[in-house]
Structure 1
């Protein structure tokens, strides 16, 4: 299936659309409090509550690293209670935090605590709960499914700012206007509990939405009911591929965040007007919707290894165009197109690449160790940008660093064996201690 999948077939997900709907809307809603939405919410909160804007802004970094510890706990709880229960609980907690702490923050502590909780709930849900669930539901459509499920992030980039601005102006108060996102988060948590299932067979569907005949012929031997992963923390620490599975998406994350969080300032510095640079961000969000699906479709069509190499090379080309735009301005428009279409691929590769190395059986367990490391690497983007600005007064040095990381990723992925620890590809691993 993975080599012959058509675009039409890629959308035949059956009851898996409940999982897709939750993932898309959850990523959109959660971004209102931790990413894109802060462009509107943070100025309103800092002014309304009399909080220092710069200090509040720095809480995002604190929340990022605090979330790493929380994600280790979330992974343990997910192993015990399942992805569906954890996703439901995390989004109800996210909604309550948004309403009672975030919107009603009267101190830096309250605001910072809200950021820590919401970052942990959002990232824990996507990467530790719904991500592994998607691999279980769609083991051979994994790439395209990841591409669909991550569209919510791009929708947030394109739509959250105007929506939140309209809500505040309509209701006249940010606490009232933005509370819709708290209610939406709680509603999504209830939806997850009622409609999602950890295993597709519990929902009356076979993996990849195949027929019973196809399942018995092609899938049954790949599934191990009651399987318990034999990966321990000590073993993961000593396994090279575990670190590679964290570093590769980590480099992608630090590069994308480092580029996109300063994209407006960078593009102004090379010659665009502020209005053009801000408009480019909206264009990037719209392009990302298409790019998110496209990266996922290519992943399913030619395999994660080749897709990851192509994606990193493509992004490196976009960064290079931006660097060269200081000499020839039209190249900045090429870089905007490349960066925009690459937005969704970051989350896609963060989910797909580790799964391609460890397989559907061990991915949920191993990813509980991998993703916190990947996330830590991504959080360092602010250090790279800050150091570059301090030393050179521009972002050129930082962009050169990100260019190097994407090129290095191409080399690392090329030298790493795909599926090395996948027990379905290598049954002998079942007997290996």
Structure 2
């Protein structure tokens, strides 16, 4: 009887007023993080190449060292959030990132473009990879799957709304104004964060997961074992590396597809407008897809659903390779779209599952940045493979299929017991 009650609690949407407020807030964080670090790569290299005559592939490859700096930021902010609180970190890093993004449109050289992008990735990790999952772990330690299913909708919303909207801004307002507008929006959200976000349920007299006291009592008094979750012990834990490379490889594949989705469609004869339409359709499909992966996570367990997720992207890549056929294009959009919001959901969920609420922030501060650096290799790998293939996307996609299967194999090795 208790098992049925628990299962129902883990998959329903009764989060309470404040719970829903925090889900919506973290959804916004995922939106800005995806827009700034991934989705913008569909437009930024070509926009700067057209405006300044710079090489678009060089600008694309710059995203990899910028991502490495983001790794450092993820570690720094990930350790800092343990001692401080996610609200202030989220607010401050949003404001700084917004200012830097506004300045990006004004850079006069590739060198300054590179420096600014590195700083953006560094500070964006503060709200995107440190504060955001910390909010979820604090508020929804047991309903993490379904809560993340809602929150990570922000990423696919970015892929549709940001890419389409920013393309219009670039075309009508120019580079400088477009970057200033989006940067100011990030600053505004950062300021509002001081008054909106709450670090944990106790701050507003709520309970984690909005469950009854007898269901959540074990989550109320958490004493972190600093020795058990020290940097050294986390790095020595084999599960750390299985998660880092397993999910890191899947993340690399996802970024490789999404960041170059528009150029891929244009390479097989579609116009820029048609390619953006396909991108928007893919991203719209991803919005319910994000919730679907969260629900499946809560219902069937993170490990098994992560493997299903991996092979859904193999299907997406195969379909995109044969995208000369309009039917394959549409099916590729469906498979790619369903997975956009799933990765961030499943990665955070697996870290919580393996290390628990008490060890999540310590483990996440190490695992998330390391998985993130694996992700960033997608940019330089894609740029290199495109040069080798003479601009054909077939070679990169075949390589990504192999990487995806390796990632799935590593996830299979993670010891996991569904709650």
Aligned with 1:330: secondary structure? helix
Q: Give the Cα–Cα distance (whole angstroms) in 1 for the partners of residues 31 and 232 of structure 2.
A: 36
The answer to whether structure 1 residue 89 and structure 2 residue 87 are counterparts is: no
Q: Give the Cα–Cα distance (whole angstroms) in 2 for the partners of residues 404 and 38 of structure 1.
A: 23
2:340 to 343, 353, 358: 343
What per-residue deviation string (whole Å, max 9, x for no partner) do you get for residues 400-433 of structure 1?
232223333333333321159xxxx8xxxxxxxx
Matching residue of 2:260: 262
Q: Give the Cα–Cα distance (whole angstroms) in 2 for the partners of residues 87 and 149 of structure 1.
A: 15
The answer to whether structure 1 residue 388 and structure 2 residue 385 are counterparts is: yes
Q: Give the Cα–Cα distance (whole angstroms) in 2 for the partners of residues 21 and 406 of structure 1.
A: 31
Matching residue of 1:282: 280
In the alignment, is the contact (CA less than 8 A) between 1:41 and 1:174 conserved in 2? no
In the alignment, is the contact (CA less than 8 A) between 2:156 and 2:341 conserved in 1? yes
Aligned-pair distance for 1:243?
A: 0.4
Unaligned runs of 5+ in 2: none
Matching residue of 1:118: 120
1:112-261 map, 5 Å: 112-167=114-169, 172=173, 174-210=175-211, 214-215=212-213, 217-229=214-226, 230-261=228-259
1:365 to 362, 379, 388: 362
Aligned with 2:344: secondary structure? helix
- Say which structure, 1 or 2, has more relative contact order (CA 8 Å, 6+ apart): 2
Matching residue of 1:27: 30
Matching residue of 1:430: none
Aligned-pair distance for 1:262?
A: 3.0
In the alignment, is the contact (CA less than 8 A) between 2:246 and 2:409 conserved in 1? no
Q: Give the Cα–Cα distance (whole angstroms) in 1 for the partners of residues 27 and 268 of structure 2.
A: 34
What per-residue deviation string (whole Å, max 9, x for no partner) do you get for residues 347-398 of structure 1?
1122112222111110110111111211111111134334433444433233
Aligned with 2:7: secondary structure? coil
The answer to whether structure 1 residue 312 and structure 2 residue 310 are counterparts is: yes
Which moves more between the two structures, 265-274 or 300-309? 265-274
In the alignment, is the contact (CA less than 8 A) between 1:271 and 1:329 conserved in 2? no
Which moves more between the two structures, 331-340 or 30-39? 30-39
Query: Normalising to structure 1: TM-score of the pair?
Result: 0.85
Q: Give the Cα–Cα distance (whole angstroms) in 2 for the partners of residues 165 and 268 of structure 1.
A: 15
In the alignment, is the contact (CA less than 8 A) between 2:73 and 2:125 conserved in 1? no
Aligned-pair distance for 1:292?
A: 0.9
In the alignment, is the contact (CA less than 8 A) between 2:35 and 2:162 conserved in 1? yes
Aligned-pair distance for 1:207?
A: 0.6
2:106 to 104, 107, 111: 104
Q: Give the Cα–Cα distance (whole angstroms) in 2 for the partners of residues 27 and 107 of structure 1.
A: 29
Pair 178,325 (structure 1): closer, same or farther in 2 beyond 3 Å: closer
Pair 162,56 (structure 1): closer, same or farther in 2 beyond 3 Å: same
2:408 to 407, 410, 428: 410
Q: Give the Cα–Cα distance (whole angstroms) in 1 for the partners of residues 259 and 383 of structure 2.
A: 12
Aligned-pair distance for 1:285?
A: 0.9
Pair 225,264 (structure 1): closer, same or farther in 2 beyond 3 Å: closer
Q: Give the Cα–Cα distance (whole angstroms) in 1 for the partners of residues 36 and 312 of structure 2.
A: 30
Which moves more between the two structures, 151-160 or 175-184? 175-184
Pair 124,200 (structure 1): closer, same or farther in 2 beyond 3 Å: same
What per-residue deviation string (whole Å, max 9, x for no partner) do you get for residues 35-93 of structure 1?
33455556556666x47353544432221111112222112221221211211111111
Count the aligned residue pairs. Answer: 412
What per-residue deviation string (whole Å, max 9, x for no partner) do you get for residues 256-290 of structure 1?
11222333444455676665444221111111111
In the alignment, is the contact (CA less than 8 A) between 1:127 and 1:351 conserved in 2? no
- How well do the aligned residues superpose, as a CA RMSD in angstroms? 2.8
Matching residue of 2:293: 295
In the alignment, is the contact (CA less than 8 A) between 2:42 and 2:263 conserved in 1? no
Q: Give the Cα–Cα distance (whole angstroms) in 2 for the partners of residues 357 and 169 of structure 1.
A: 46
Aligned-pair distance for 1:255?
A: 0.8
